Amino acid sequence: MEEPAVIIPVVLCGGSGTRLWPLSREGYPKQFLNLLGNRSLLQDTLLRIREIHGVGTPLLVTSHAHRFMVAEQAREIGSSDAAFILEPHARNTAPAAAAAALYALAAGQDPLMLVLPSDHLIRDASAFADIVKQGMAAAQTGALVTFGIAPTAPATGYGYIKAGASCTQWSFDVACFEEKPSQVRASEFLAEGGYFWNSGIFLFRASAFLAELESFSPEILRAVQESVNLGQKDLDFFRLDEAAFARCPSNSIDYAVMEHTSRAQMVPFATEWSDVGAWDAVWELGAKQEGGNVTVGDVLTHNAKDCLVHASHRLVAVAGVEDVMVIETPDAVLVVHKDQCQDVKVLVDMVRKQGRSEAADHRKVYRPWGSYDAVDEGQRYQVKRITVKPGAKLSMQMHYHRAEHWIVVKGTARVTCGNDTFLLSENQSSYIPLGTVHRLENPGSVPLELIEVQSGSYLGEDDIVRLDDSYGRVSSNVVTQ
C-alpha cells in the first residue's frame, strides 16, 4: 500500500493585528495573545495541525523581532522540534511560502505544504483535519488547493471565492476570486450561492507552487532563491539573506499565483472559522454573560448590553452603555462602538504618526531571557521590573550613560559586576556603576524577579554595548537589552 504523502505545515507568523490594538502591538501581535482561552492563537494553530494524519514537523516563518516569542510559545506546548525561517523584511505571503518550499526542497523533500496563518480560530480540530485530508487528493495531482469557508453572513471584511465545476469528490475549480465586497454585493453573493469566504489557507506540493510562481511572478522566485541560497543558520533559526530578500516584491499568494493559475482548486469548509480580525469578532466569539456582555479580567457592568470589556491591569467598570468595546492595558485604553471596530487601525496610524511608543510596544516588553515592565520614569531615572526565566541570562554588557541598581524580590540572581561574580537572594541588592561590564543570570528553578533602577544622562535602550550573548544577538550597540 502506498504511504500517505507527508504534509509539512507552514505556519505564517507575520502581521501586526492593528485592529486589535491596544492589546495587539507591532512588537506583540495578535497571534501571541490569549484572546479566547488559556492559549494563544499561534499555540492553538500548532495543536490543531497535530490532528492531521501524516503531518510532519511544522515550519514557522516569522520575523527577526518575533523569533524568540514564536520559539518559546512553540516550546510551551511541546513543539520543540519546530523549524524556523526568519524573514528580514515583511513581504506578504507569496515570498514566505516560496522560502518554505525552497527550504523543504533543499532538505531533499518535495512535500505537500499546508500553508496557513497563525492567528485564525478553528475550534473543531477534527473537522479541520478531515478537510485537509479531502484537499490532499487534489494537491497530490499537482493542484494548488485553497479552502473556502461556507459563509454565514454577507461579511464585507473577507475576500470571496466562487466555485466552478466539480473536480474531485470534494474539490471544485476556482471560477474567480472576488475582492472584499460592499454590503450589497456580499448579500448578492449569498443569494446567488456558490461563493465562499477566502480563508487564506492553502495546500500544494512545494514544486508545484514554485513552478506556478516562476510562471506568474518570476521576480519573487528569483529574489527568494537568492535569499535562501545566501541564508545562514542562526541557533535554531534559518535566517534569509537580508539584501536579497529586500529586493523581493511584496505580494500575496492569491495575487501572485492563485488568480492566474489554471491549477487552482477549492475545497469547501463548513465549520466555525474566524480570522479574529477586530474587536467585534472577539465579542462574537466570546462567552456571553448577562446582557450579552463578554468580560475579561477585573470588570463590573451595570445596565450594559452586548459589550466587550477587557481589563488587563486594573478594575474597569461600565454602566448604561450598549454595543461598546472597552479594552484596557497599562499604557492605553480603547473605547469604540462595535460598528466602528474596523477603524481602530486609523487610531493606530494616528498614534504612530505622533511618534508614540504605544503603537509598537507594550509597557511590558518580552525578551528571549524573560521580560521587563517599565514601571516608572522621570528626568534622569527609570524603574523596571525584570523577570528572568530559570536558567536564562542577559548578555554580558556595559552602558556609557547610565548606572543601575538591582534589588531582588523573588528567586536568586547570579550577578557579574566587573571582575566579581556573586549570588543575591530576596531583599538583597547590587549597584552597577556606569561603564562597568556586567551580567544578570537566573541559576535557579523558579523565575527571578527584581527591580532595576536606572539613573543617568541618557536611558535609551540603544545605550548597550553587548560583549557576549547566549542568543546570538549582535555584539554591538543595539536597541534591545
230 falls within a domain: yes
Same domain, 114 and 88: yes
475, part of any domain: no
The alpha carbon of 167 is separated from its chain's Cα centroid by a whole number of angstroms, namely 35
Residue 118 lies in a domain: yes
- Residue 426 placed within a domain: yes
> pLDDT digits over 244-286, tens only?
999 999 999 999 999 999 999 999 998 899 999 899 999 999 9
Burial of 236 (0-12, 13-18, 19+ CB in 10 A): middle
> Do 342 and 371 reside in the same domain of the chain?
no
Of 352, 377, 401, the residue at which a domain comes to its end is 352
pLDDT, tens digit, 9 for 90 and up, residues 110-132? 999 999 999 999 999 999 999 99
Taking only the tens place, the pLDDT of each residue in 49-67 is: 999 988 999 999 999 889 8
191 and 89 assigned to the same domain = yes
pLDDT tens column, 344-390: 999 999 999 999 989 988 888 888 899 999 999 899 999 999 999 99
- Percent of the residues in the chain that have a pLDDT greater than 70, as a whole number: 97
Where residue 476 falls among pLDDT bands split at 50, 70, 90? very low
> Is residue 359 included in any domain, yes or no?
no
Do residue 126 and residue 257 come from a single domain?
A: yes
The answer to whether residue 130 is domain-embedded is yes
Say if residue 107 is in the same domain as residue 42. Answer: yes
**Position 478 in a domain:** no
User: What local confidence, expressed as pLDDT, does residue 474 receive?
Assistant: 60
pLDDT of residue 132: 95
pLDDT mean over 437-462: 94
Of 216, 240, 269, the domain-final residue: 269
Statement to judge: residues 337 and 383 lie in one domain: no
pLDDT tens-digit readout, 139-173 = 999 999 999 999 999 988 899 999 999 888 899 99
- Which DSSP string do the residues of 13-49 spell out, in sequence order? -----GGGTTTSBTTB-GGGS-SSSSS-HHHHHHHHH
Q: 15-46 burial, b if ≥16 CB within 10 A, otherwise e?
A: bbbbbbbbbbbbbbbbbbbebbeebbbbbbbb
Q: Measuring CA to CA, which residue among 14, 464, 79 is closest to residue 240?
A: 14
- What average pLDDT is seen over the chain? 92
Place of cell 454573560: 289
Structural domain count, the chain: 3
Confidence at 477, pLDDT banded by 50, 70, 90: very low
**338 with 399, same domain?**
no
Q: What is the CATH number of the domain that holds 196?
A: 3.90.550.10
Nearest by Cα to 42 from 57, 28, 32, 56 = 32
What is the extent of the structural domain holding 427? 364-468
Same-domain pairing of 344 and 463: no
Residue 309 has pLDDT above 50, yes or no: yes
Helix (H, G, I), strand (E, B) or coil at 155: coil
At residue 125, the 3 state secondary structure works out as helix
Same domain for 370 and 345, yes or no, is: no
Q: Cell digits for 327? A: 479594552
CATH (domain of 418)? 2.60.120.10
Has residue 200 been placed in a domain?
A: yes
In this structure, which long-range contacts are made by residues 233-237, counting pairs with CB atoms below 8 Å and at least 24 apart in sequence?
234/86, 234/472, 235/471, 235/472, 236/71, 236/83, 236/84, 237/67, 237/71, 237/84, 237/85, 237/86
Could you tell me if 77 and 199 lie in one domain? yes
- Residue 113: its pLDDT value, please? 97
Same domain, 82 and 115: yes
Q: Are 197 and 307 contained in the same domain?
A: no
